[in-house]
Structure 1
């Protein structure tokens, strides 16, 4: 599988498109003034305890208080509170020896929020979910600092290896390496990307993460809540950190600054991949050039068409998302069961892509085309699980029910991507009416007369192709253009441009500079 990362930087922020085999599968946006990104660490102030919800509302400086449930406190929250208080009170340049930090007893799973945060202490928290709609950020006290190959989790001594590394020998090798280099009071999770890496590479990644922990300690000194303590990397670098592998072919950026940042980051984490970064300098938009704009318009909206003629209807309700599969005119044979299976399999692949692309979360109910054979239902379920394997969000897929419905749950980390694919007609402004071509022609002639009277020569008139055809219709000596040439005593160049609206036209001088009217 070939992967491309196309990055479109604008003054308002950065749009990032991930392509797999030239097909858009993920679309990310990072605003210039964005705050409260997933992974950011904040020193928060307990604002309100809610015993009925067994949760607390934390002030992080956002307009809505953030939400922290008891189950997100972490078993080691007492150690976290103790560390936070010690770090805030530390004086001068003294650095805490975290390996000598005494871990407090774990809290019980069925405890009460008032027992832990009863005194409303300041607390170090991590953003679990970005603010969505009217809700503030969702928080966790289970701190984790992710690197390229490992993730460190303070206040415990657990070492875990990704289950996606299938070789038991490799898992044992990685665990042995981490056990040898891991400092006390830090748990380590070994990521899938660590497979085949040597001790030096893993140790370098661990050292970088430990330096980040020291930065947290330094930033807590004298901090006044609410305050940001540590920022997650920008969206581009975090995607590269989590996804970069041998399948990545190209990273194309249209901004010199982002290009330099990306190249610098790759030099740190994967020097052999530095050459895949290139700066886009061609005319036109970068998303248009790589067909991303067209894919966005085709992939969002209520109806999604499939190559075969089948289509999906995607609707959102307050409680869940509903996806209906329709066969359209797809027909692969005379067997109805075979047609249904073929359509469902094609739809399943597109649904898995749509969930990633739109970042749809919560409960998703899919109404596939009815199939009678149990083996076909099982085959569809297995294929859906296979298609969903590339999805980084936590998810669960249930077999098809007796009503022909498949239920999927999927974690959502950020607001759902929702792009309006319908536009108000710029020509008629939604009225359904445009000015007569005769009136437009008369307007052009008046403007020509004005320009030529003011001694403009070598004029070029650029119009929509339909208007071009109208002005040049008939014999060369009988067209409207030829009549203008005779009337004004000079040759007027006429040029079509499909990017123009139907009634849009512009004049240019002989230096090809637009003449503003």
Structure 2
């Protein structure tokens, strides 16, 4: 099996590819992200639910923190109520543990932790832990002894599963980097005015290498020599890893996200309908409460036995659904309506096949049950925003049509209309501005497009546009 990682550092996007098919997309955004550290201000306190809302910046949604997520520094004194822990307008150091959704702000904690590829540093926990999945007793004893020697006083340390068989010098160097990060955060607290962002890991290369790189990766393709240098610095310390992985700098004229079909994958993943080559159709509808997936046989027909045809169609659909859950990063409660089967044996074989497909998913999907109505219910752990949430239109289409109009306009009128919409909608919505820009550019004559691009950048949106160029507004509005 050929496994690749494609990294476009310019666009802050990466793709995990297996057998020439994109399995997962990784983004870096300038909005709230997991592990971001803020100095916030307590804005509201709700004693009925023992929770508080913390203002993280002056323009975005406030974060939510429950009393259970507040670290108690005095373990001898019980503080089971929110008013015993925080006060109104109090400054508080928090970290995001769950990204916001369309209607909810980010989930917060005061139990700060700094994560590396092999270690996790916990400034407010004076403990030492080894990952439970490290079952080898010799390896466990080695890491525990090393942890006792290198653990900083009054700080906590966790050895991740990836630390298995890693040289002590590499682990010590990573701990030094994590300590340096914590010292930087402490110094930033002295003069900064709350609310404010203190620390964010916005390096797409580091994120991809730490979360997705393993000895199974055959090739890493990057878009520049600087990116290749960063990759080498992150994985080059292990000669065995580097010898198994080919590091390539992409030098062709064709854009890297076009060459590896990343834009096409994004565009297709935003469509609710999936039609397989066999003719089987799958419909995916995402709502705030759950995700509903419906399977239709379509034009698929390969057997004279109706039940055998249905079973084969369901198995092909299950394979595609397992793939789409990873690609679209769908999380929460998921209900799948497969084609009805009469045979109990076929139902059990389908569940067994589906369970096998979900084993490789790092978000740990769990099949709950096959209901009496024939619906398969499962849950999938949230790992950041879904692809639909990242690319969702955040403004009423009727107002866009009213402002832009459907007739041809001069470039000056289009610029004015764009600024009017920007004032109304785009101070908070990054993705929407990209999609509108695509529509805006389609209305401008080719001789004026250079000027239009310049004016677009002049208005403050100095951002990689190619990422969403395949999202045609005419298909959405």
Deviations 1:421-476 (A, max 9, x none): xxxxxxxxxx9xxxxxxxxxxxxxxxxxxxxxxxxxxxxxxxxxxxxxxxxxxxxx
Shift of the 400–176 alpha-carbon distance from structure 1 to 2, 3 Å rule, reads farther
Give distance in 1, aligned partners of 2:154 and 2:210.
25
Q: Closer, same or farther in 2 for the Cα pair 1:386/1:141, shift >3 Å?
A: farther
Distance 2:129 2:274 in 1: 41
Determine the structure 2 residue equivalent to 1:153: 122
The answer to whether the aligner puts 1:28 opposite 2:26 as a matched pair is yes
Contact 1:128 1:139 in 2 (8 A): yes
The answer on whether the counterparts of 1:72 and 1:141 sit within 8 Å (CA) in structure 2 is: no
Equivalent position of 1:174 in the other structure: 143
In the alignment, structure 2 segments of 5+ residues that lack a partner are 393-405, 407-441, 448-477
- Rounded to whole Å, the distance in 2 between the matches of 1:36 and 1:268 is 31
Query: Which whole-Å CA distance do the structure 2 matches of 1:379 and 1:160 have between them?
Result: 40
Per-residue deviation at 1:72? 5.2
Does residue 43 (structure 1) correspond to residue 12 (structure 2)? The answer is no
Kept in 2: contact 1:128–1:413 (CA 8 A) = no
Q: 2:384 aligns with which of 392, 414, 434?
A: 414
Q: TM-score under structure 1 normalisation?
A: 0.68
| Cα gap change, 1:376 to 1:214, in 2 (>3 Å) | farther
In the alignment, the residues of structure 2 paired with residue 223 and residue 128 of structure 1 have an alpha-carbon distance, to the nearest angstrom, of 22
Structure 1 residues 121 and 295, CA, compared in 2 at 3 Å: closer, same or farther?
A: closer
Q: Any residues of structure 2 matched to 1:366-385 within 5 Å, and which?
A: 366-385=336-355
* Structure 2 CA distance for partners of 1:205 and 1:332, relative to 1, 3 Å: farther
* 1:4 alignment counterpart: 4
Report how far residue 282 of structure 1 moved: 0.8
Residue among 163, 176, 180 paired with 1:211: 180
> Superposition pairs for residues 491-502 of structure 1, below 5 Å?
none
After superposition, the C-alpha distances for 1:77-136 in whole angstroms (9 at most, x for unaligned) are: 232xxxxxxxxxxxxxxxxxxxxxxx644756xx22122113542111112233433543
After TM superposition, list the pairs within 5 Å mapping 1:113-512 onto structure 2: 113-118=82-87, 120-167=89-136, 170-267=139-236, 272-273=241-242, 276-331=246-301, 333-393=303-363, 395-418=365-388
Q: Do residues 69 (structure 1) and 65 (structure 2) align?
A: yes
Q: CA deviation at 1:356?
A: 1.9
| 1:215 CA displacement | 2.1
Instruction: Describe the shift of the 1:214–1:314 C-alpha distance in structure 2 as closer, same or farther (beyond 3 A).
Output: same
Look up the SS of the partner of 1:143 in the other structure. coil
User: 1-side partners of 2:322 and 2:282: how far apart?
Assistant: 12
Query: What is the match of residue 497 of structure 1?
Result: none
User: In the alignment, what sits opposite 1:84?
Assistant: none
How many pairs were matched up?
Answer: 396
Asked if the contact 1:3/1:18 (under 8 Å) is kept, the reply is yes
Inter-CA distance 410–347: structure 2 relative to 1 (3 Å threshold): same
Q: Secondary structure at the match of 2:205?
A: helix
1:335-390 CA distance string (max 9 Å, x none)? 44443333333322322221221122222111122234444434433443333333
- Secondary structure at the aligned position of 2:218 is classed as strand
Residue deviations 1:299-343 (CA, integer Å, cap 9, x gap): 431111234332211112342110012223334544444433333
- Which secondary structure state, in structure 2, belongs to the residue aligned with residue 304 of structure 1? strand
Aligned CA distance change for structure 1 residues 232 and 334 (closer, same or farther; 3 Å): same
- Give the match for residue 473 of structure 2: none
- The structural deviation recorded for 1:60 is 1.3
1:86-101 equivalences under 5 Å are none
**Alpha-carbon contact 1:128-1:137 (below 8 Å) kept:** yes
Question: Is the CA contact (8 Å cut-off) linking 1:18 and 1:27 kept in structure 2?
Answer: yes
Tell me, in whole angstroms, the C-alpha distance in 1 between the residues paired with 2:4 and 2:296.
31
Is residue 72–residue 139 contact of structure 1 (8 Å, CA) maintained in 2? Answer: no
Q: Deviations over 1:476-508 (max 9, x none)?
A: xxxxxxxxxxxxxxxxxxxxxxxxx9xx999xx
Provide Cα deviations, 1:175-194, integer angstroms capped at 9, x if missing partner: 44434432343333322212
1:461 alignment partner in structure 2:
none
Q: Distance in 2 between matches of 1:106 and 1:285?
A: 60
Return the alpha-carbon distance in structure 2 between the equivalents of residues 42 and 270 of structure 1: 37
Q: Which has the larger radius of gyration?
A: 1
Mapped to 2, the partners of 1:125 and 1:270 lie a distance apart of 38
